[in-house]
Amino acid sequence: METTIMKQNHYKYTKVIRVWLFIGLIMLVGQVILGGITRLTGSGLSITRWDIVTGVVPPLNMKQWQEAFELYKETPQFHKINSTFTLSDFKFIYFWEYFHRLWVRSLGFIFLIPFIIFLLKKQLDWSLVKKLGLVVLLTVITASAGWIMVQSGLVDRPWVNAYKLTLHFVLAVLVISAMVVTVANAYSVKINVSKASKKIVTTILVTAFIQMIFAGLMSGMKAGLYYPTWPDMNGQFIPKELLISENWTWKNMINYDSYLFAPALIQIVHRTLAYLLLFLTIRMFYKLRDEVDSLSKTWIKIPLILVLLQVVLGILTVLNVAGKIPLFLGVSHQLVGLLYFLSILLLHYGIKKAQKKH
């Protein structure tokens, strides 16, 4: 069966709008990656207030830096983990959290002004306005969930709540997903394959989304720190904590800081889903490659390359844990995982769009 990714001479929107949307997508991905860096450097609780307007300006003199540092000294993270921090140490973690917040503010600025201009010039149809409206709504919800997450680490605990972090991360993934669909629509992406082949893509998409949830829990619980071995988990393929029936309680899932049950469960599921996605993606590639032409093979090669790279990065990240997740490997693992999910989403959207035409 011949497949086509339609390159229309007349797109629905101007080149300027298409480029604007693509820049928006890149910035959204960048925001999630900055969130990962903030998490891995322990910077997320360095700024204890959320001032939408005045928060744009960082401390500019020694007095302001000292005031910000004194506010941080009131947090559980300082008392329980970073009590030896100097002002220089504080400036480092402050930078990443500030940059993370500034990036999302810039994203809103880059989106809002062109949106108003395009709207006034009547260059946006109602379909695109609705799609962008969904992106904006999800972004606002994600930002709100982010502040709720930060607050969870300012009282009693030195880290944010893992479940609130996961909610924040999954919402961010949904924002980017909505933007991917918007961009794909603007670029008229369509991929023709059989209905039977679409099923495996759908299966992979659902599995990958579940994996993103467990990725958030892995990060929130710092589960990677407890089992820094591969292919086993500290000498066992199934951690002993999971073999004791009395451990399967909600209390153990909540108290993940004090008992290994939850980190063990989350990590073994995360690893299992990774193997499953690897198998399904390889199967998808061999199933679809005979249905597509040479140009369209790119769209099924990209997920295959990304999933192979992602598995390698995951293994290297685990093996290089030395009391903390290695920053470069951890961030790379998150980025490639996100790109893999988005590549499957784009493939699924293109197939769905093409089949609607028949």
Question: 343 versus 7: which is more confidently predicted?
Answer: 343
Question: 290 versus 158: which is more confidently predicted?
Answer: 290
**Over the chain, what is the mean pLDDT?**
87
pTM tops 0.85: yes
Count of CB atoms within 10 A of residue 206's CB?
12
Residue 6 has pLDDT above 60, yes or no: no
SS3 10: coil
Residue 291 Cα to chain centre, angstroms: 31
Look-up: residue for tokens 């293994």? 315
The pLDDT value given to residue 2? 40
Mean pLDDT of 298-315: 94
DSSP state of 233: B
Angle at CA of residue 110, ends 107 and 114, nearest 5°: 145
CB contact at 8 A, 65 and 117:
no
CA atoms within 13 A on the CB side of 342: 23
Residue 84 has pLDDT above 50, yes or no: yes
CB contact at 8 A, 27 and 106:
yes
The pLDDT value given to residue 328? 94
With cut-offs at 50, 70 and 90, classify the pLDDT of residue 157.
low
Buried b (16+ CB within 10 A) or exposed e, 40-56: bbbbbbbbbeeeeeeee
Percent of the chain with pLDDT over 70: 92
Per-residue pLDDT of 137-151, as tens digits, reads 998 899 888 888 877
CA atoms within 13 A on the CB side of 158: 12
The pLDDT value given to residue 355? 73
Per-residue pLDDT of 31-68, as tens digits, reads 989 988 998 888 887 887 766 655 678 888 999 999 99
Look-up: residue for tokens 């829990």? 217
Mean pLDDT of 121-150: 88
CB contact at 8 A, 71 and 49:
yes
Residue 8 has pLDDT above 60, yes or no: no
The pLDDT value given to residue 334? 95
With cut-offs at 50, 70 and 90, classify the pLDDT of residue 235.
very high
Q: How far is CA 97 from CA 55, 90, 331, in A?
A: 11, 11, 15
Per-residue pLDDT of 176-218, as tens digits, reads 999 999 998 888 777 777 777 789 999 999 999 999 999 999 9
In this predicted structure, which of 238-242, 244-248, 298-302 has the lowest mean pLDDT? 298-302
Percent of the chain with pLDDT over 90: 53
Mean pLDDT of 172-177: 95
Per-residue pLDDT of 314-357, as tens digits, reads 999 999 998 889 999 999 999 999 999 999 999 998 888 877 76
Report d(CA 245, CA 14) in Å as an integer.
Answer: 60
Report d(CA 326, CA 164) in Å as an integer.
Answer: 23
Residue 9 has pLDDT above 60, yes or no: no
Question: 239 versus 109: which is more confidently predicted?
Answer: 239
